[in-house]
């Protein structure tokens, strides 16, 4: 399977390491032989239509901080140029999420789809701003569009709601969709001030380069958009979400929740409206997980409420979700 990889940060490098460590198993068990034709990062690109040497790619990135030193040829091609000039089966889009105009991910995805490539995205920006039209574009061009790593990292939240609750009508859902804010609020419950809890989260590498994505609830709102569209069949985008972050949460708020035998969490919910905001959750509620965990409760017509809990982020966890999507695409291609 011929692959173009957009972005080469932690997630993409973790994916390439998975390809290396599971090479024999992927071929023996699933008939999957990933052939990476081109990779680019913010400083340059590496291109080889016969397939890049994966070990070399990782070594070069670790040594120089960019893939452009992989060879002397074609190392200035942009993502758009690569997508326009190289024939591949799948685009894997891992560039950072941008909630202002979703670029460059949006152009990467639409260019690939128009060329007949299947797309896997862990970049939430394009889905948050244009989910309905991207699904339409994929259908029109008869390509698969997969994005299970956009919500829950390695925890298969999207697959669970779509497949395990198949035949059920989900009426509402609510959950903790951002591990960073959950970590901060968990530490505030242990007595840290907001600033100290934020500093600790930054030191551990949990906070996005643009901290507003976490603290102002934008990351959780983007995931709520994806869930509402995919699971509830809505046609919504970011502006449809009522969003309040955690910057104004005080120790007094935390103490007030404690008196009510509750914990304060940033909850994303889809019921009569779509809301992200800090909310008191009873300590008995299975949703009220601590640390960087994510949790989501789906309420359905006949099965009542089911809660799924797992790691929200992490390079290897998110890479494993990309691999799941790739295997789904491989299976569909084999069927047809």
| 112 and 245 within one domain | no
- Kind of pairing between the strands at 2-6 and 90-93: parallel
Closest CA to 158 of 174, 147, 143, 170: 147
Residue 223 annotated to the active site:
yes
| 323 and 186 within one domain | no
| 46 and 26 within one domain | yes
| 165 and 304 within one domain | yes
| 161 and 15 within one domain | no
CATH number of the domain bearing residue 53: 3.40.50.720
| 78 and 59 within one domain | yes
Tens-place pLDDT, residues 138-147: 999 999 999 9
Tens-place pLDDT, residues 229-249: 999 999 999 999 999 999 999
Tens-place pLDDT, residues 284-335: 999 999 998 999 999 998 889 999 998 876 788 889 999 999 999 999 988 8
Provide the 8-state DSSP code for 164.
Answer: I
- Kind of pairing between the strands at 274-282 and 242-243: parallel
State yes or no: pLDDT of 199 exceeds 70.
yes
Quick one: tokens of 167? 């035949």
Between 117 and 156, the higher pLDDT residue: 117
Confidence of residue 163 (pLDDT cuts 50, 70, 90): confident
Q: Which residues contact 304 (CB under 8 A, 6 or more apart)?
A: none
For residue 159, the model assigns a pLDDT of 84
Quick one: tokens of 131? 């989910």
Between 157 and 21, the higher pLDDT residue: 21
State yes or no: pLDDT of 36 exceeds 80.
yes
H/E element, 255: helix 251-259
Concatenated DSSP letters of 118-150: EEEE--HHHHHHHHHHHHHHHHHTT--EE-GGG
Question: What order do you get walking across the sheet with 274-282 strand by strand?
Answer: 242-243, 274-282, 262-270, 170-176, 293-300, 304-311
Structural domains of the chain, count: 2
Question: What is the percent of the chain where pLDDT is above 70?
Answer: 99
| 33 and 93 within one domain | yes
State yes or no: pLDDT of 73 exceeds 90.
no
| 172 and 134 within one domain | no
For residue 313, the model assigns a pLDDT of 67
Quick one: tokens of 201? 């989260």
Cα atoms in the Cβ-side hemisphere of radius 13 Å centred on 194? 13
The catalytic residue among 61, 68, 124, 223 is 223
Radius of gyration of the chain (CA): 20
CATH number of the domain bearing residue 202: 3.30.360.10
Tens-place pLDDT, residues 275-284: 999 999 999 9
State yes or no: pLDDT of 25 exceeds 80.
yes
Domain that holds residue 94: 2-153+316-335
| Mean local confidence (pLDDT), 154-169 | 80
* Calculated CA dihedral for residues 139, 318, 98, 66, nearest 10 degrees: -110
Neighbours of 169 (CB within 10 A): 10
| 21 and 100 within one domain | yes
H/E element, 223: helix 218-232
pLDDT, averaged across the chain: 93
H/E element, 172: strand 170-176
| 299 and 171 within one domain | yes
Neighbours of 240 (CB within 10 A): 14
Neighbours of 33 (CB within 10 A): 12
**Phi, psi of 225, rounded to the nearest 5 degrees:** -60, -50
| 104 and 35 within one domain | yes
């Amino acid at each position: 399977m011929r692959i173009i990889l957009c972005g080469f940060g932690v997630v993409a490098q973790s994916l390439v390491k998975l390809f290396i460590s599971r090479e024999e198993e992927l071929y023996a068990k699933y008939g999957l032989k990933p052939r990476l034709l081109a990779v680019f990062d913010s400083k340059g690109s590496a291109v080889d239509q016969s397939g890049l040497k994966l070990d070399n790619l990782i070594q070069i990135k670790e040594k120089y901080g960019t893939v452009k030193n992989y060879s002397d040829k074609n190392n200035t091609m942009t993502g758009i140029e690569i997508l326009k000039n190289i024939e591949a089966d799948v685009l894997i889009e891992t560039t950072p999420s941008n909630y202002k105009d979703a670029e460059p991910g949006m152009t990467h995805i639409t260019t690939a789809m128009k060329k007949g490539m299947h797309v896997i995205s862990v970049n939430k920006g394009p889905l948050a701003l244009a989910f309905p039209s991207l699904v339409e574009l994929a259908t029109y061009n008869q390509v698969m569009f997969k994005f299970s790593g956009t919500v829950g990292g390695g925890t298969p939240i999207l697959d669970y709601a779509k497949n395990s609750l198949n035949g059920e009508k989900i009426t509402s859902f609510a959950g903790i969709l951002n591990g960073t804010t959950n970590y901060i609020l968990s530490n505030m419950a242990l007595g840290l001030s907001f600033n100290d809890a934020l500093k600790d989260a930054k030191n551990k590498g949990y906070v996005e380069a643009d901290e507003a994505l976490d603290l102002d609830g934008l990351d959780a709102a983007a995931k709520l958009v994806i869930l509402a569209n995919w699971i509830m069949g809505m046609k919504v985008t970011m502006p449809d979400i009522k969003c309040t972050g955690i910057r104004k949460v005080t120790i007094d708020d935390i103490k007030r929740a404690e008196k009510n035998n509750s914990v304060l969490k940033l909850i994303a919910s889809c019921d009569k409206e779509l809301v992200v905001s800090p909310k008191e959750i009873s300590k008995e509620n299975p949703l009220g997980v601590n640390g960087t965990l994510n949790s989501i409760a789906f309420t359905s017509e006949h099965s009542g409420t089911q809660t799924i809990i797992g790691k929200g982020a992490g390079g290897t966890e998110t890479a494993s979700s990309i691999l799941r999507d790739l295997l789904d695409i491989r299976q569909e291609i084999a069927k047809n």
